[in-house]
Amino acid sequence: MTTEYIHGGPRALITGIGSHFAEHRGADGLWHAAMKEGAYAAAPPPWSKPALLSSVVDEALADAGFPPSQARFDAGVSVLLCAQAAVGSTSLSPFLHGTDTEALTTRVGLAPVTVLSHACATGGFAIRLAVQMLLTGQRDVVVVAGASVPDSMEQISLEAVGVLSRSTVRPLDTERDGMAIGRGALALVLERADDAARRMVTGAIRVAAAACLVKPSRTESDPQAVGAVLRAALGPATGPDGSHIDAICAHATGTVLGDAVELDELALLGAERGWTEVPVFSHKGALGHLLHTSALAAVAHAVEAMRRSVVPGTPGCRTPIAEATGVRVATKSLQRPLGRVLVNAFGFGGNYAAVLLEK
């Protein structure tokens, strides 16, 4: 039996970004790392997931303007951790894998941690939950975080299903042959718009909608599920903004089937809504696929693109796969104001998410 959960998301703001990619740190570091083809292949220093997570959570809170001396918010801060589901008992499993009983040290004290696991769409599910927690008053600030430090088991698992590239990762390219596992950590700070306004936050980006769908499938990418979650995020094609979109940050990992299904569904959506050459881009030819953390990297990359008024190119893509009139693959960066950007995240096991950002 197929079970589907689709939720349109109400509005909250992304006010801070923390990131760590080898020598690149912060929102600016993420931007530059995401533009460098093959950056995923650089040998990283020895990394610990707990240390990375603490670092990027603190960095994101600082970027959002919360002072180090502030001990705790009135309603507290929560951390939603994007990670694997429980896979046995280790000393780190309570923190990384399955419970909300551990505490993460942050600039605002000890924050309760809740772990979400929806494969490579986890970040989208976490953002949807964060918005819900904010608008129901459960928390004043929610930090969504994740770290990708691949181990041998993840490498072997992905090799076994035949999705790893044998050469260079080329998202949305005719010569694509698979993905590469990325290394790094991301954190996003979300808060209610009225709270951010009282703090006089500038440069925040609105989460206009977030749609999540679970539809178990035997295929890597189910076209019906992809189309359904995209339409749920965009809402009805009516009103002044119902059909308008300025760019799309695709999931596009570089796999043969997944990239084709995603672009086909975007083309169908564009035909329905009258789009004309809406640019589609992907950062995974630079950062690789960050697995459970990948959606956070995509959202952060899109946020920076909106702040900079730049449509990023797609590192690794030289000859784009066939396109329709409504969408086109952006191979090079283009200076352009971005008011609304759609971010896609799809995962094995039938997990699908899409987040709509507004400036």
pLDDT in tens, 130-150: 999 999 988 899 999 999 887
Selected residue with higher pLDDT from 348 and 326:
326
Residue 299, CA distances (Å) to 28, 212, 225, 358 in order: 14, 15, 20, 12
Spatial distance between the Cα atoms of 205 and 357, rounded to a whole number of angstroms:
7
First to last CA, the chain: 39
Range of lowest pLDDT (3-12, 245-254, 260-269) = 3-12
Residue 67 banded pLDDT, cuts 50, 70, 90: confident
Residue 90 banded pLDDT, cuts 50, 70, 90: very low
Range of lowest pLDDT (106-110, 198-202, 267-271) = 106-110
Contacts 24+ apart (CB under 8 A), 128-132: 128/7, 128/9, 128/210, 128/211, 128/212, 128/353, 128/355, 129/80, 130/12, 130/80, 130/190, 131/9, 131/10, 131/11, 131/12, 131/190, 131/207, 131/210, 132/9
Phi, psi (rounded to 5 degrees) for 155: -60, -45
Whole-model pTM: value is: 0.91
Place of tokens 């950002």: 357
